[in-house]
Each structure stands twice: as C-alpha cells, then as structure tokens.
Amino acid sequence: MTPAQMKDAILHHLVYTLGKDAAHAQTYDWRMALSFAVRDKIVDRWFEATRRTYAGQHKRVYYLSMEFLIGRLLKDAIINMRLEEAAIDALQELKVDYQAILEDEPDAALGNGGLGRLAACFMESMSTIGCPAMGYGIRYENGLFRQRFENGRQVEEPEDWLSQRHAWEFERPEVSIDIGFGGHVQEIGKRANWYPSEMLIAMGHDTPIIGWRGRWGNTLRLWEARPMHGFDLQRFNRGDYAAAAEPEALARTLSRVLYPDDTTEQGKELRLKQEFFFTSASLRDILRRFESEYDDLRLLPKKAAIQMNDTHPAIAGPELVRLLVDERGIDFEEAVGIARNTLSYTNHTLLPEALERWDEGLMGRLLPRHLQLIFRINELHMKDVGTRKVTAVDDGHVKMGELSFIMAHRVNGVSALHTELMKSTVFKDLHELHPNRIVNETNGVTPRRWLLSCNPRLSTLITDAIGDDWVDDLEQLEKLEPHIDDAAFLESYAAAKRQNKNDLANWIAEKLEVGIDPEAIFDVQIKRIHEYKRQHLNLLETIAHWLEIRDNPNQGWVPRVKIFGGKAAPGYVFAKEIVRLTNDVAKVLNSDPLTSRYLKVVYPPNYNVSLAEKLIPASDLSEQISTAGKEASGTGNMKFALNGALTIGTLDGANVEIREHVKPENFFLFGMTADEVMERRKIGGHSGQAIAADPRLARAIEAIRAGRFSPDEPGRYHGIVDNLVHHDYFLVCSDFTDYWRAQREADTAFAAPKDWARMAAFNTARSGWFSSDRTIRGYMADVWHAEAAPTVEDAAG
C-alpha cells in the first residue's frame, strides 16, 4: 500500500463510515478511519487463512481463556501488516499526529495480569506461525478497573473501554447460542435430558488477530451475554417500567465485569456462571464447526485441540461429555475418552488460595447434570487407576484442578521449576498415577509487541546489525554477540537506552510532576501487587538506602529512580496498604533535599499494557524478587531482559531459565532457593532472627513503625510491621540482607557504564528463546499435536 492509497482509504472511511469531513474530524475520528483502513487489509488475509484451514482440513487449536489482556490493537496491526510507513506518511499529509492517534486508543484490559497477557501473546504467535486457532473468551463490558490514587490510597473506577465504538470487532448475531442454568434432570436409560430453568444467549464478537507480515490471521471470539427474551412489553404497558427491563439487565450481568482478583479465588456464583457461559458456548461452537466438516465424532481429537487456560474453563470436561452423551448418544466411557484426548490444561499457579473449589450444593443447583457427570467421571477415574486416594470431589467440594487433570491428556506448567513443583506438591498423587501427563512449556512473549513495536530505537539498531530475520526467529538475536565487542555498537546500544530514558523522564515530568534524572538507574517493578511478589521487600530496601544516604549525603551515591506500577485487588487489604505505603514513601523521599538527587520513587497510577510498553524499553534494572517457589513463571521478566534491562531476582519461575540463558554474570541473583524457603519456614521466629542480624533492616522497619512516612497517623502501617516482625510468610526479612548486597552490586556495576552496556546487550542477545513463538511450537508438538498450515505471502512492505 502506498501512502497515497492509505490516504485515500483513510479519507474514504472518514466520510463514508464515520460521516465526518476532514475539516471537522477529531482525533477519535481519525483513529477510527485509520483503524478501518488497516482493518480492510487484514480482513482479506484473515479470510484467506480461514479458507486454507477448511481446504487443508487442518487441525484447529481452541484456546479457552477467561482473560485476554490484549491492550491496544492499532499499532500492532499496522506493524504486523507492514503499513507503518504508509500510515505515517499519509497522516503527515493530512496534518494529523500519528502518535496522538495511537495514544487515543483505549486499552482492552480484559484480563488481570500474567495469565491474560500470556493468552494475548499466544494469539499473536499462533497467527504468526500459521497455527490454525481460535481464542474463546468473554467480551466484558467493563475490563479491569482503572486505578487512581487519592491521598496515596488506591481508588477503583470502572474501565469502560466499550463506551467508544470498538474498531476491531465484527458482531456475529448469527452465532448466538443459548445457555441454560438450573432446573432439573430427567434420566432416560444411559443418557439424560436437562431442563434448565433459566436461559440466556451467548452472542459472538470476532476480532481478527493478524500475525507478523500478515501471513496468517486467526479469530478471537468473545461472547456477550444477552437476554433470551428482550424486554417485557406487557409489564411496560402496565406501567411497571423497571420490572420490564429486569430480565434483560440480569442476563447482561454475565458479561458485565471481569473479576479483579489475580490469583485469589472468590467462589462466587456469578463467577461460576461466567465460566460455564463462555465454556459451553465455545464447545458448542466448536462441535458445530466440526460436524459441518466431519461426520464421525471419534475424529474430534484428531481435528481439534482444546486448551484450558487454568481451571476457569474446567467445566469443559463434563460439558463436553454431556454434549457427547446426552445430545449425541455416545457411550459414557467412550465420551470421556474423546473428551480427554481433545482437552489439555495449563496450570498457572500453585498458591492454595488460587485453586478453584466449587461448593457441591452450588454446582448442583446451577449445573445439576454436570454435577452428576463429575461424580461419574471421578468414579471412572478411580476405577481406572485402582485407588480411591485421589479424588476430584472431596469434602462437599468439586476440586477443579484435579478435575482438569483427570479430564486432560496433557497438563502443563509454565516454567521448568514450576512444572517440577507441580509434580512434587499439588499434583503429586496424580502425577504418580499418570507420570507422562505433566509436561513443561516455559512461557514466552511476542517480540513484535515487546520489542519491535515498543522499542523502535533498539529494533532499528538490531536490524542494522543483523538484518530483520530476528522478528520471525528471535533466537537470531544471538548474532548480536560478536557486535557486543564492538565499541561503536555498544555506544549505540547505550544511546538507544538513554534516549528511551529521556522520553520516559519527560513523560513522568509531564504526567506526575516529578523530575527524575535520566542518568540514574531506572529500577522498575511492575506487576500486580501481591505479598508473594514482595513489593514490600523493594520498599524496605529503598527505605534502608534512603536512611544510609541521609547518614552521609556527600558520599558519591549512584543515583536511582525506583519505579513501581501495579494494581491491588480491591478486596486485598494488605496489598492496598502496600500501595499506600509506596505513595507515602515516595512523598517523603522525593521532597527530601538531602537525598532526592540520589533517590526518588515514582508510582504512575493505572499500570496496564500500554504503560508497560513505555516503561520496559526505558528500564535498567528489572525487579523479579518473588519468594522462590511462588511465581509460576513471570513474563515481565522476559520482556525486560529482551529490552536490555538486567534482572535482580530470585531463583523463581522463569528467572532460573533467564539466568541460564543470559549467563549468571549478567544477572543479579539473591535469596533463598525454593527448597531453602521450605526449610526456613519451619524455623520459629525466622523473621525476628533476620531483623536482629541486620541493623539496616531493623532501622527501615522502625522508620515505618514510628510513622516517618505517615506523620499525620503514625500507626497507619502497624499492620505491615506486625506482619513482617511476627509472621512474614513470604520471608521478606530472611531475604533482605542478600537483596541489599545484590542491590549494591548493581550500583557498582552501573557506575561502569561500558560494562553495564555490555551486560545489557548480552541480555538482549540471549533472550531469543523467550519468544512465545517458541512456546507455541512447544505446545503444538507436545500438547496439541498440531501442525502449521502453509501461510499466505508477505504483506507488502
């Protein structure tokens, strides 16, 4: 596409799709017009991919996920379609600011954190590789809440990303599937009829996900809940206006909001309904498609692979069995076999509070037939393995992890360490019974969004050095290694980072009115706020460092800016206190004339995908400091390493593999191992001992306790202090001393800029393995047994 063609296409949509003339068009109108112009190009390729999938009878992958944290889509689409030059030139002629258009797009925050973002990276990689796939989820009207700070406290506001027209989706009223709840079951011989008492409709909305170079496109189909019967005209005519609208409002509740809990399970009825709603709609859509092509249901495992992203779609097991037995007349045992060979399950966390358990009573009320089938599946499994020791139904609860395990032919963890811990802890008994079922698929991130698009300076430098094949095959970044010894290359590498840091400093000055020194270490911790992720360990070190600078303000300190970003679940009291403490610490430190040129704390509100895209390219140090054994993988850690930030981290999740790839000397390791953590916890008074042994730690805790960050309310953080001193389940105190040591090593290293640049460049060169393309190839080979289809030719550059 030439710039002139692009300009025509934009103007065409401006006039005929949006009904605006150029003289009166606002940023929003231009953004929509550009989006539609790009979308037109995508649609052709998307159709072609679909045609090829049908024609080649390729196996399809179905990714069922309660969350897809896709963020903004326009730039991604432009880049993957190789339309950036055309778009920039066309807009320049139209005197429209390209950056302003990109910034105008709301973030589609249909996820909480890692699990949802991984699903989004996977969708992009499957399209890049040409793996015929479809993502299925919920079209939440309100995604993850918007975070604001009020006197340092987190305030949540609804995020209404759909208040403006969404340019990327196609409504599919013809794909409307009715979903039932409640009612009763009538058994007739070996099958049963389920008569639900409540019905609503799942309507599909399709978003095309285009891969790199536009060679392939898959669909993300998100379900919207709609009432079966519109609004009640009889009641309305009787003057009962509110009641007339009630059934409609009730049905819509199902796709109204995303639950804002990351790794905590609430066990709420609406949540279970959401889970069944999207799982059932997706499975029936899958079967409908399958049956339009094949007439033997035993072929299902050969032609479809259904991935359950954690246990949220775990009802897929019983639901698929129900559809096969009750609605297709297949024998129960055979149906279980077909379902198991089609389904697989990814576990994303071992935290006990995250493991889904549903009350039998609730399950029986909402899904009476499914509860019966769960009992039968469980009995069959116990019979097959010859033991009653492991069970999916226990103590009046259905355990969704166990249910998913026994209904899947593959179960995977998301990093090497996490997978081993799955085998030795949560799924120990099941693993012994099925030793080949658990496999590892270490997470990855898409290099298109997380390097090419978010870090154009570094991308250009890389392409100038080694060509642009790295975008298709990220392990080619290793070709950078010989360049690392070249002083000119290293200087350019450092210059790109410096310019990114300048941009970020300007942005922070404008948005937060805090001045930061671009020469300082940009030390960044961005992720959901959680005790196991230990933002408070970072804060304690910050406070200890501040106190030390105050003791001796004229010693040559290495300047640092501590950047935090992240949301706390609205009901997670401890996490919210950490948010407030971070803001309180920032206030005191940033206004301290003795220290502020050496140490600042900034906490931009409303951390999301777009903010990550700004922060990561400008980071020097990546904080990955979870208690070993608790972070299943992490994916932010990979994005940082790829963009040349050095990691300070524990041997947890994928940190272990990152350290192996980038080499131990280019990684600041500290802390106990997962085994040491388990041992340490057994020692009574472990935190007291650690505090007594380290005066810096004692002093930092005392500063919080005495109210130095909350002079108007000295007792504000006694909860945190009490937790640290007396409980400290996540071993913040026990890891503090070693963390301090590693931080000072980072200071020393940063003070030698050339060596630092070399280490940073080495991180980039060795991060290629962490591409989600590699992860997806792993799933295709080990889990899905699916092959890539022959892709379409490159989109014109």
Give the dihedral of Cα atoms 374, 376, 377, 379; nearest 10 deg: 120
775 lines the binding site for ligand NBX (CB under 6 A) = no
Instruction: Single out the catalytic residue among 527, 659, 716, 766.
Output: 527
Q: Which stretch binds ligand NBX (CB under 6 A): 245-253, 261-269, 541-549, 748-756?
A: 261-269
Q: How far is the CB of 394 from ligand NBX (least distance, A)?
A: 18
Q: Give CA–CA dist 699/691, Å, rounded.
A: 9
Q: Is 639 a catalytic residue?
A: yes
Pick from 262, 319, 523, 531 the residue near ligand NBX by CB under 6 A: 262
Give Cβ neighbours of residue 216 (< 8 Å, ≥ 6 apart): 45, 49, 127, 128, 129, 130, 210, 789, 791, 792
Which residue lies nearer to ligand NBX by CB, 6 or 118? 118
* 263 sits near ligand NBX (criterion: CB under 6 A): yes
Backbone angles phi, psi at 781, to 5 degrees: -80, -45
207 phi and psi angles, rounded to 5 deg: -115, 125
Q: Is 492 in the site for ligand NBX (CB under 6 A)?
A: no
Residue 342 within binding range of ligand NBX, rule CB under 6 A: no
* DSSP-assigned letter for residue 275: H
The yes or no reply on residue 401 touching ligand NBX (CB under 6 A) is no
Q: Does 310 bind ligand NBX (CB under 6 A)?
A: yes
Examine residue 635 and tell whether it contacts ligand NBX (CB under 6 A): yes
789 is an interface residue for ligand NBX by CB under 6 A: no
Which of 653, 704, 759, 764 touches ligand NBX (CB under 6 A)?
653
Q: Which is nearer to ligand NBX, 350 or 452 (CB)?
A: 350
SS (H, E, C) 712-774: CCHHHHHHHHHHHHHHCCCCHHHHHHHHHHHHHHHHHHHCCHHHHHHHHHHHHHCCHHHEHHH
Contact 29, 14 (CB under 8 A): yes
Q: What's the min distance (Å) between Cβ of 454 and ligand NBX? A: 19
Phi, psi torsion values for 291, nearest 5 degrees:
-70, -20
Q: Does 631 bind ligand NBX (CB under 6 A)?
A: yes
Residues 112-171 touching ligand NBX, rule: CB under 6 A, are 113-115, 118
Q: Is 600 labeled as catalytic in the residue annotation?
A: no
Catalytic site residue from 128, 595, 635, 764: 635
Active site residue 207: no
Report the site for ligand NBX in 351-390 (rule: CB under 6 A).
354, 356
Closest to ligand NBX by CB, 265 or 285: 265
**Nearest distance in Å: CB 721, ligand NBX:** 27
Interface with ligand NBX: number of residues (CB under 6 A): 20
**Active site includes 527?**
yes
Instruction: Single out the residue of 31, 41, 348, 534 in contact with ligand NBX (rule: CB under 6 A).
Output: 348
The nearest distance, CB 104 to ligand NBX, in angstroms, is 28
Side by side, the strands of the sheet bearing 521-526 are: 599-602, 560-565, 521-526, 621-624, 646-649, 668-669
Tokens of 91: 């807009």
Active-site residue (options: 75, 166, 639, 766)? 639
Among 344, 443, 500, 590, binds ligand NBX (CB under 6 A): 443
Under the phi-then-psi rule, with left for phi > 0, alpha for psi from -120 to 50, and beta for the rest, what region is 307? beta
348 is catalytic: yes
3-state secondary structure of 46: helix
Task: Identify which of 739, 725, 534 has the alpha carbon closest to the alpha carbon of residue 627.
Answer: 534
279 lines the binding site for ligand NBX (CB under 6 A): no
Give the binding range for ligand NBX (CB under 6 A) out of 86-94, 260-268, 671-679, 783-791. 260-268
Q: Which long-range contacts (CB under 8 A, 24 or more apart) does 166-170 make?
A: 166/108, 167/31, 167/32, 167/35, 167/36, 167/39, 167/73, 167/74, 168/35, 168/39, 168/73, 168/77, 168/207, 168/208, 169/139, 169/205, 169/206, 169/207, 169/222, 170/205, 170/206, 170/207
Task: Select from 24-32, 88-96, 149-157, 259-267 the region that touches ligand NBX (CB under 6 A).
Answer: 259-267
Q: Which residues are catalytic?
A: 348, 527-528, 533, 635, 639
Task: Point out which residues bind ligand NBX (CB under 6 A).
Answer: 113-115, 118, 262-263, 265, 310, 348-349, 354, 356, 414, 443, 631-635, 653
